[in-house]
Amino acid sequence: MGDLQRAPESVGAWLWFVVPDGAPDTAAVLAPLAEAAAVLREHGLLHLESVDAVWEHPRGGRIDDLRTVPVPGGAITESLVRDIEETRPSESSEARLKLVRTHGSGTWVDGSGTARTEDDLVVLESMPVLDEISLEAAVHHDVWARYAFSGIPHPQVYDANAPRLAAALQGIEAAVGTKTEPGDSTGFGRVQGYGIQDPEPDDIEDGRAPDLTYLLS
């Protein structure tokens, strides 16, 4: 597993800000994450295997603690809330949940029409922000864009994958009940609607986009 080149920064990211019913506690942080993960699973883009729980310490200048928690069955349930709470650093009573990040595999389709599996094809993050929960979906591979990282166009790959991602993002929007907002742009891409924006015409030379492979880790 792992045939694709992965950018160290996102190629595209999408955000949703959800108002929880109550306090932005662990259950509230996981609620939109569960809805988004279920949508991605339906589209074959995320088969959830584990989550990272990051605990921050408001006082004392201590660095964040990261705990990886398995997700049996690939579904976020009430038991996962308890499992995450049990990873709270026992020596820090003021530790609070900073974010939860997903890990798992997803399916993409290559230029010959063959389905392939890749780790962390789509990554979800959920975190409390004041009285809201911020949910992010991010992608780090070039299969969602019209051009590969090398700058070579790959229309068969794009046509087989980009519509699946767009449909999933619209499904998340419907599931969480709030509009989709674009995440930050990076040197590897920027968002346009539910997809990746094409390069500017002036950046295309002899049918090729800029070569970004030298920036890959």
* pLDDT reading at 85 higher than 90: yes
**pTM, full prediction:** 0.94
d(CA 23, CA 148): 43
Q: Quick check: is 133 in a domain? A: yes
* Sign, CA torsion 175/50/69/53: negative
Residue 4, domain member (yes or no): no
**Can you spell out the DSSP letters for 189-215?**
B-EETTEEPPPPGGG-BTTBPPP-GGG
Kindly state whether residue 7 falls inside one of the protein's structural domains.
no
Could you give the C-alpha distances from 33 to 72, 102, 134, 194, 202, in angstroms and in order? 16, 9, 10, 18, 39
| 10-46 residue pLDDT tens | 999 999 999 998 888 999 999 999 999 999 999 999 9
- pLDDT for the residue numbered 1: 53
Rounded Cα gap, residues 77 and 35, in angstroms: 11
Question: Is residue 2 assigned to a domain?
Answer: no
The pLDDT tens digits of the residues spanning 63-80 come to: 899 999 999 999 999 999
Q: Do the domain assignments include residue 6? A: no
With beta carbons less than 8 A apart as the criterion, state whether 133 and 18 touch: yes
Q: Whole domain around residue 39: which residue ranges?
A: 12-215
Residue 60's pLDDT is 67
Q: Is the pLDDT of residue 199 over 80?
A: yes
Residue 94: predicted pLDDT: 81
Average pLDDT over residues 106-116: 97
Domain count of the chain?
Answer: 1
Confidence of residue 161 (pLDDT cuts 50, 70, 90): very high
Asked if residue 5 belongs to a domain, the reply is: no
Looking up tokens 């002899």 gives: 206
pLDDT value, residue 2: 64
